[in-house]
């Protein structure tokens, strides 16, 4: 299961994470986000303990979206050791998403 990332927990859950963190910036009204959501949840389950998977609802966390320059959703951002390591915009197949972090495992 993915973790809800907010302004309040971003530093501890993302920047302070000991494992890579994949963040899905999404909104409930976004069709491609709804299509991507089950894939993100599947990745969260398969890589539990090795990759942390979180979701940022941009309607509820506009500050985080703005800070990351999100202009289109869904956008996936990978953090590794507190640093942004990769970014992908738009719905993508599972293997394309996994390829963002596979080399870090």
> Which residues participate in catalysis according to the annotation?
30, 33
What number of CA atoms fall less than 13 Å from residue 16's CA on the CB side?
7
Beta strand 21-26 pairing with 52-57 = parallel
**Contact between 53 and 22 (Cβ < 8 Å):** yes
């Amino acid at each position: 299961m993915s973790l809800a990332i907010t302004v309040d927990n971003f530093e501890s859950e993302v920047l302070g994470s000991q494992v890579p963190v994949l963040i899905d910036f999404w909104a409930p009204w976004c069709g491609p986000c709804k299509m991507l959501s089950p894939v993100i949840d599947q990745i969260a389950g398969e890589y539990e303990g090795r990759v942390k998977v979180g979701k940022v609802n941009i309607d509820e966390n506009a500050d985080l979206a703005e800070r990351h320059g999100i202009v289109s959703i869904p956008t996936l951002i990978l953090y590794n050791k507190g640093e942004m390591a990769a970014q992908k915009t738009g719905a993508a197949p599972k293997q394309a998403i996994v390829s963002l972090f596979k080399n870090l495992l």
